[in-house]
Chains A and B, each alone.
Chain A
Amino acid sequence: KQEVTQIPAALSVPEGENLVLNCSFTDSAIYNLQWFRQDPGKGLTSLLLIQSSQREQTSGRLNASLDKSSGRSTLYIAASQPGDSATYLCAVRRADFGNEKLTFGTGTRLTIIP
């Protein structure tokens, strides 16, 4: 059974700092990994999707890396801003044909201090 872990559960950093969020998964047979952002009381916004054959994806100040063999992914946020405050979730999709289920971690709640 796939298990996804995100540590730490909460993180506070001063505005302007660069930071890294971590995600680990137990079964390396994944099809892809997605990072999402969730604001309080809202749905999830997709940030980055990395296919299993890829090492990283970038979008603006965000960079996600994937090391499938070790079961790890990181989300790097450069020059953090107060608007980045949210809960960040990673999710993996297994490589089984026809398996559309995403398994989520419990998230890291990020607070950027102005």
Chain B
Amino acid sequence: DTGVSQNPRHKITKRGQNVTFRCDPISEHNRLYWYRQTLGQGPEFLTYFQNEAQLEKSRLLSDRFSAERPKGSFSTLEIQRTEQGDSAMYLCASSLEQGASPLHFGNGTRLTVT
């Protein structure tokens, strides 16, 4: 399967703990995106990378959130000191650099903060 891969699929954590999610994009895609989706809502943009450079960040991405994409391959999204409001599905997507390229999404990581 050469699609976008996200791990873990589910994560349950206690408030105040740190969590890290991983995304492996489609290999030839140099653009990588993180979105967050809560129940009954459409995904909301968090951040985007072109190769290893983080080019855009949403105001939703508070100081507790950090994303990296070392060497322009896989990406990690870390949430420090989790809060119950962080509970959501975290979706990763990738695309080719051309503007007309569609986004390909992974199956997401569902985070539950208790």
Q: Which residues of A are at the interface with B, using a C-beta cutoff of 8 A? A: 4, 31-32, 34, 36, 41-46, 49, 51, 89, 91, 98-107
Q: A43, B108: Cβ atoms under 8 Å?
A: yes
Please tell me the number of chain B residues within 8 Å of chain A, measured between CB atoms: 27
Q: Do residues A104 and B58 form an inter-chain contact, with CB atoms below 8 A?
A: no
Cα A100 to Cα B33 in complex, Å, equals 9
Most buried by B among A41, A100, A102: A100
Contact mask B1-21 → A, CB, 8 Å, 1/0? Answer: 000101000000000000000
**Which B residues are closer than 8 A to A by beta carbons?**
4, 6, 31, 33, 35, 40-45, 48, 55-56, 58, 91, 93, 99-100, 102-108, 110
Interface of A is mostly: strand
User: Which residues of A sit under 8 angstroms from B102, Cβ to Cβ?
Assistant: 34, 46, 49
Contact B55 A106 (CB under 8 A): no
**Contact call A106/B91, Cβ cutoff below 8 A:** no
The one of B40, B43, B56, B106 that contacts A104, using a Cβ cutoff of 8 Å: B43
* Alpha-carbon separation in the docked complex, A99 to B40 (Å): 26
> Considering only CB atoms, which chain A residue lies closest to B92 in the complex?
A43
Interface centre among A4, A31, A43 (most CB of B within 10 A): A43
Which one of B4, B41, B103 lies within 8 Å of A102 (CB-CB)? B103
